[in-house]
Chains A and B, each alone.
Chain A
Amino acid sequence: MTTHIQSQLTQLARAHDIKILYAVESGSRAWGFASANSDWDVRFIYIHREDWYLSIDDKKDSIEIMLPDDLDLSGWELRKALRLFRKSNPPLLEWLNSPIVYLEDHDFTNQMRTAARTFFNPKSCLYHYLSMAKGNFREYLQRDTVKMKKYFYVLRPILACMWIERTNTMAPTEFHKLLDAEVPAGNLRTEIDKLLARKSVAKSWAKTPELMH
């Protein structure tokens, strides 16, 4: 699949006359708790030729394409990405730490990773993760039945908050790193590990008995 994705990105760059500076997997596959039928969520940053910027008109600064095989490609033009970076945009910071990289201009990513240490804003990231946890908790964990993966969609942002509070740095993208760092051996860890084990044997995300009482 990696080769296929790289090929699609190369075709896309040619079709739009852009240079892709960085392309990664985001979402559940990057976090490390994807199921076999999870989408491929590819995110990328690109730049146009100089002429594109020499215009009096604003132009579209993103590209979104959904391809067969659940391949979701979505990219931000570099200036848009940098404006979001200035606000310590958490998804963008996660992309920079994604364990699955499809394309990378190392000169660019070295600059971005260095800058990320300066532009990281704990409050902005805490708000992002807390909002995600609250939303998913309210939406999915208060029903009579819940999908297993929804546990992780609350757990991960909460563990990210814990990491940020403890280290004052951006949380790692991978769930297992967060889990190992923030939940030591004990009853809670045992319950999460059991949930992970159940998830890993599930063919797809089955429903499980009510969480909240």
Chain B
Amino acid sequence: MGEDARIDALNHFLEEKIEYYTQYLKDYQVLIQPDTEHLNRIFRTTLAG
């Protein structure tokens, strides 16, 4: 019985967090402009190296 209680607590925590982050991402706004030229430089220098 003790084990059931421990497991339920863990599941409750996980379920709550899943709900929280589902909502969190709905509200999350971020704008990122990837700097592709930076990655091109990594490719070129590695190929040359």
In angstroms, Cα B28 to Cα A122, docked, is: 10
In whole angstroms, what is the CA distance A85 to B24 when docked? 24
Residues of A within 8 A of B32 (CB): 88, 121
A118 and B18 contact, CB distance less than 8 A: no
**Could you count the A-B residue pairs with CB atoms below 8 Å apart for me: how many are there?**
99
Indicate whether A112 sits within 8 Å of B42 (C-beta atoms), given known contacts A161-B21, A194-B6: yes
Whether A209 pairs with B24 at a CB distance below 8 angstroms is no
A209 CA to B3 CA, complexed, in Å: 8
Q: Which residues of A contact B8 (CB under 8 A)?
A: 211, 213
Query: In the bound complex, what is the Cα–Cα distance between A155 and B17 (angstroms)?
Result: 10
A209 adjacent to B43 (CB under 8 Å): no
CB <8 Å contact, A211 and B18: no
Q: How large is the interface on B (under 10, 10 to 19, 20 to 34, 35 or more residues)?
A: 20 to 34
Is the CB–CB distance between B25 and A158 below 8 Å?
no
Tell me whether A108 and B14 are in contact in the complex, defined as CB-CB below 8 angstroms, given that A118-B35, A126-B21 are known contacts: no
- Would you call B17 and A161 a contact (CB within 8 A)? yes
Q: Are A191 and B11 in contact (CB under 8 A)?
A: no
Closest Cβ of chain B: how far from A207's Cβ, in Å?
Answer: 13
Give B9's nearest chain A residue, CB to CB. A191
Say whether B17 contacts A162, CB under 8 Å.
Answer: yes
Instruction: Please determine whether B45 and A211 come into contact, CB atoms closer than 8 angstroms.
Output: no
A121 to chain B, nearest CB (A): 5
Picked from B9, B36, B38, B46, the residue with its CB within 8 Å of the CB of A21 is B46
Report how far A44 CA is from B28 CA in the complex, Å: 32
Q: CA of A82 to CA of B4 in the docked complex: distance in angstroms?
A: 46
Residues of A within 8 A of B (CB): 21, 47, 50, 53, 78-79, 82, 85-88, 105, 107-108, 111-112, 115, 118-119, 121-123, 126-127, 130, 133-134, 137, 141, 151, 154-155, 158, 161-162, 165, 187-188, 191-192, 194-195, 208-213
Q: Residues on B close to A: CB < 8 A?
A: 3-4, 6-11, 13-15, 17-18, 21-22, 24-25, 28, 30, 32, 34-36, 38-39, 42-43, 45-47, 49
In the complex, given contacts A87-B34, A211-B11, what are 8 additional A-B residue pairs having Cβ atoms less than 8 angstroms apart?
A21-B46, A111-B42, A111-B46, A122-B30, A133-B21, A188-B13, A208-B7, A210-B7
